[in-house]
Amino acid sequence: MTSAAALTRLHREIRACIRCVQAGFIPVAKPVLSGCSDNRIVLIGQAPGAVEAVRRLPFQGRSRRVLFGWLTRAGFASEEHARRNIYMTSITKCFPGKGTGGGDRRPGRAEVELCRSHLDRQLALIQPELLILVGGLAHDRFLPGRRLDALVGRVFDLSGHEIASRSAIRPLLLPLPHPSGASRWLNAAENRALVDQALRRLKPLVRRLLDRPIADAYTSRQHAGGSGTGRGRT
């Protein structure tokens, strides 16, 4: 089976998942993800929002402008260019509903565990060279127990050690804050400076990954969506 076909099948299985509905966490399952089998970069967010649940495409709400502004600063030509070259997924795949404070509810540990195998299988199939970790749940999964200001602006390996961005170790992990604006973290000038530093670290990585010829394992330009054909987004 080709990598594109295997990813298409996995996407079909994820979209059919109702584990969190059966467990009573959400009333309806609407998994959201997007990506191609030849993507070398994976962006992992926290969970889809209400707008994403309707449009079934990652980062469609108020975080869209901020996130893709960051990505264009990091070397992508446009939002479309970024979406075509980044596999976008999240720690949990469905909109968790609103929290008591009015914002989106943060999925709990049990929900994260129910979704864990989906993300594990996505990463095993994509075999990314770079993980962009957006928001607290993604940070907790890969780089737990660290403050945001100890993460943003740095590059890590899978064991959690900070490394130079030119390291041959793959995948590299680059954390970013969540772009939704719900947190006041970005209000501080010193924290915005850390984001600037992160984007400077990200830019040569993006350039290197986009310029390099695609390896044999990822030669298919077919999009890993429901039909498994074409270059459209899932």
pLDDT tens, residue by residue, 62-113: 899 999 999 999 999 999 999 999 999 999 999 999 988 778 899 999 999 9
Rounded Cα gap, residues 204 and 202, in angstroms: 6
Q: What is the per-residue pLDDT for 212?
A: 64
pLDDT band at 218 (very low <50, low <70, confident <90, very high): very low
pLDDT digits (tens, 9 = 90+) for 25-61: 999 999 999 999 999 999 999 999 999 999 999 999 8
The model's pTM is 0.89
Q: What percent of the chain has pLDDT over 70?
A: 90
What's the chain's average pLDDT? 89
Report the half-sphere exposure of 38 (CA within 13 A, side-chain side). 19
Mean pLDDT over 163-180 rounds to 88
Q: Where are the domains of the chain?
A: 3-218
Q: What is the per-residue pLDDT for 213?
A: 52
- The alpha helices in 162-215, defined as continuous H runs, are 189-211
CB 87 within 8 A of CB 44: no
Q: Cβ contacts of residue 212 below 8 Å, gap of 6+?
A: none
Q: How many CB atoms lie within 10 A of CB 192?
A: 14
Query: Is the domain defined by 3-218 classed in CATH 3.30.2010.10?
Result: no
Residue 199 has pLDDT above 80, yes or no: yes
Rounded Cα gap, residues 180 and 135, in angstroms: 9
Residue 182 has pLDDT above 90, yes or no: no
Q: Residue 41 is inside which H or E element, if any? A: strand 41-45
